[in-house]
Amino acid sequence: MPFRICFVCLGNICRSPIAEAVMRALLAADGLTDEVQVSSAGTGDWHIGEGADERAVAVLARHGYDASAHRAQQMVADAFADNDLVIAMDRANLAALRKLAPAGEEGKLRLLRDFDPDAPGTDVPDPYYGGDEGFDEVLTMVERACHALLEQVRAELQRD
C-alpha cells in the first residue's frame, strides 16, 4: 500500500496545489511515484471542482511543474483514514484540521514548513489577495520544505 500525503490550505487553489505539484515532481524524479501518492484539499468549500488559481498554474509552469489537471476538493474527516500525513500550509488551517480530525488521527497532522530546518513553525502565506510575486515566494518556500519532506518520506519507506 502506498504512503499517502495530502497537502491542505484554505481553498485548495493556491498553496496546496503548488505543494502537490512540487511533491509529485520530486517523487517522480526520485522514482517513488508507485510508493507515494500525493493529493491536496482545502478546509473551505468555496472552490470545489475549480482548477488551481491561474497565478499558481503560471508560476508552476515557469518552473517546470504541471498543475493543469488540478481540481479543488474539500478535506473531510473520512479522508484522514486514507492518508499517512496531512500537511497544513499554515497554523490557521492546522487548527481547522485538528478540529476535523477523528479521534486517533491527530498524529498525522503536520505544518509544511516544519520540514524546512530553517523555518519550523512558520506559515506558508496565502498569496491569493496579492500579486504574482507572492506566488513566487510561496513556490520557493514549498520547494525547500518539500525537499526536506522527501528525505523524511524516504526514511519512512525504508522502515517499512
Question: Does 6 participate in catalysis according to the annotation?
Answer: no
Task: Indicate if 9 belongs to the active site.
Answer: yes
SS3 155: helix
* Of 6, 14, 15, 113, catalytic: 15
Active-site entry in 55, 126, 144, 146: 126
126 is catalytic: yes
For the chain, the helix, strand and coil percentages under 3-state DSSP, each to the nearest 5:
45, 15, 40
* CA neighbor of 7 nearest in space, from 81, 111, 95: 111
Instruction: Please give the distance of CA 113 from its chain centroid, rounded to a whole number.
Output: 11
What is the Rg, in whole angstroms, of the alpha carbon atoms belonging to the chain? 14
Rounded to whole angstroms, the Cα distance separating 42 from 61 reads 22
Strands 3-9 and 36-42 turn out to be parallel
Intra-chain end-to-end CA distance of the chain, in Å:
11
**Residues acting as catalytic residues:** 9, 15, 126
